[in-house]
Amino acid sequence: MSKGSILIVDDNEEFLIALKLMLTPHFREVVTENSPETIISQLQKRSFDLILLDMNFKAGINTGNEGLFWLNKIKAVDQDATIVFITAYGDVQLAVKSVKEGAADFIQKSWDEKKILSTLLSAYQLSESKSEIKRLKSKQQHLSASIDGGYQLCKGPAPSMEKIYATIEKVAETGANVLITGENGTGKEVIAREIHRLSGRGREIFVSVDISALNENLIESELFGHKKGAFTDAKADRTGRFELASGGTLFLDEIGNLSLASQAKLLTVLQTRRITKVGDNKPLDVDVRLICATNIPVARTIAEGSFREDLLYRINTIHLELPALRNRKEDIPVLAHHFLNKLKVKYKKPSIDFKKTSMNQLLRHDWPGNIRELGHTIEKAVIMTTDNFIKPEDLMFELVEKSIDSAVDSFNLMQHEKMLIDKALKKFGGNMSRTARELGINRSTLYEKIRKHEL
C-alpha cells in the first residue's frame, strides 16, 4: 500500500521522471523540483515525510557543498526532516560527511532500482519513527502537565516553609539526591515534583513509586525490571522503574519500608549507575535523579538496624524536613482557597466561598492528617454545601469527633494500640508495608507489636 509523501530535488529532468514513475506505486504523493531554490517555499506550504536531494547542482562541481548548504536550510525550517542525498559520485567520505551533518542516508545516481527503493523505504520508516517519538513526547508532556496539576505547589506565608522554598530553588538544578521527611500528608510528593519541574530534567518523565505498596518478593523486578521467564509469573519482559525514569526523576516514596536486602541492591545501583534486570546478566546504564521520602524518623531506623547508614548518605545529599500543618497554620487560608478553587471547577460550583466561621474552624483544627486531610475536608464540604457558602456544619468536624469519641471507651493505651493495629491489618488485607505506613511506624516495629499483642 502506497503511503507517505516524498519531495525529490534534482536538476536532471530525465532522472526526475524516472524516479517519479518508479516511486509512485510506493508513495502516496511524489513531488519533483528541478531547482533547490523552490525547496523552502514548498516546505512553508506543507511538510514531507521524506526529501530526496541532489548534492550537486552546478555543472562541473562535485564537492557536495551545495547539498550540505540546502540540508542546513531545510533543517532550519523543519528540524525533523528526513533527507536522503543523491550523488553521481561514489565518494565514501562525502557520504559519511552528509550523514554526520544530519542526512538519513545516501544513494548514487547509478540506476539500481532495488537499492534505491530499499534505501528510501528504510528512510521513510525512520521518518515515521521520528514522528511517533515526537508524538509520544508531546503526549508525555501533556500527561505530565496534567498529573502535575494535581500536585501544584501552593506557597503560603508560614516562616517555617520559607527556607524549604529557598532550598528547592537552589537544589533543583544541581541534580543532587534529595531526602524529604515529614508526617503523612505533609506534601512530600508535591515538593518532589516541584524540584523535578524546576530542574533541567523538567521536560522528562517523573516516575513515582510507593515502596510500601510493593510486594516484597517483587520489589527488585518492579525497580530494575525482569526478563521473560526469570521467575514463574514472568510471562513477558518488564521495564523497571529505574529504566523508565532514565533521563528524568525517580521518586521513591516511603523509602523507610525498603527491606535490608533491597537496600543493598539499591545502594549498588546508586554507586554504579547501572541496573541488571532479574534473569539477565547484562548491565544497563541508567541516568536518574533520585528523590526519596519517608514519614519514619531515619535516625531511629538506623539505630534499630532496619536502615543502612551508607544508603542514607547516598540519598540525602540534601535533606528537607516538612513541618506538620498544625505548625504552619498561617498557611491554612491559602491552602484552603487553593483546594477550593480547583474543586469549584471540578464540581461546577463557581460562586462558592468560605464563611468566616468556617475558616475559623479550619484554623482551630489540629489536622492530624495534615494537608491531605485539609484537601479531603474541603472536598466533602464543597460536595455537601447547598448554597454559595461553606458553613461550619459542611466541614463535618463534629461527626468525625463523635466517631472517634464513640470508639474510645477507656484510656487504656495498650488496648487501643492493639485495636488500631488490628483494624489497620484488616483494612489493608494483612499488607505489612501499607499497615506500617498508615500507623506511622516501620515494619520491624509493627512485627514486634503484633507479637506483643498476639495478633
Q: How far apart are the first and last CA of the chain?
A: 68
Taking CA atoms, 162 is separated from 153, 158, 167, 169, in Å, by 13, 7, 9, 11
Give the Cα separation of 397 and 378 in Å (integer): 11
Cβ of 137: how many Cβ atoms within 10 Å? 13
Is the per-residue pLDDT at 268 higher than 50?
Answer: yes
**9-42 pLDDT, tens digit each:** 988 898 899 999 999 999 999 999 998 999 999 9
Rounded to an integer, the average pLDDT of 348-372 is 93
**136-154 pLDDT, tens digit each:** 777 776 676 666 667 889 9
**194-218 pLDDT, tens digit each:** 999 999 999 889 999 999 888 888 8
Q: What is the pLDDT of residue 181?
A: 96
pLDDT band, residue 2 (cuts 50/70/90): low
Give the Cα separation of 248 and 199 in Å (integer): 10
**95-117 pLDDT, tens digit each:** 677 778 888 888 877 777 888 88
Which residue did the predictor score with more confidence, 437 or 280?
280
Q: In CATH terms, is domain 326-405 a member of 1.10.8.60? A: yes
pLDDT band, residue 415 (cuts 50/70/90): low
Taking CA atoms, 179 is separated from 245, 254, 289, 294, in Å, by 18, 11, 12, 8
What are the structural domain ranges in the chain? 5-133, 150-323, 326-405, 408-453
Statement: the pTM of the whole predicted model exceeds 0.85: no
Taking CA atoms, 27 is separated from 21, 33, 119, in Å, by 11, 16, 14
Cβ of 431: how many Cβ atoms within 10 Å? 18
* CATH value of 150-323 in 3.40.50.300, 3.30.43.10, 3.60.15.10, 1.10.10.10: 3.40.50.300
Class of domain 5-133: alpha beta
Rounded to an integer, the average pLDDT of 367-395 is 92
**51-84 pLDDT, tens digit each:** 998 887 765 445 557 888 889 899 888 888 899 9
Is the per-residue pLDDT at 242 higher than 60?
Answer: yes
Q: What is the pLDDT of residue 318?
A: 96
pLDDT band, residue 407 (cuts 50/70/90): very low
The answer to whether domain 150-323 and domain 408-453 are alike in fold is no
* CATH value of 408-453 in 1.10.10.60, 2.40.37.10, 3.40.720.10, 1.10.3720.10: 1.10.10.60
Element (H, E) at 83: strand 83-87
Q: What is the pLDDT of residue 418?
A: 81
- What integer best gives the mean pLDDT of the chain? 86
Report CA 105 to chain centroid distance, whole Å: 34
Taking CA atoms, 58 is separated from 1, 51, 62, 85, 198, in Å, by 37, 20, 8, 16, 51
Rounded to an integer, the average pLDDT of 240-247 is 93
Cβ of 344: how many Cβ atoms within 10 Å? 15
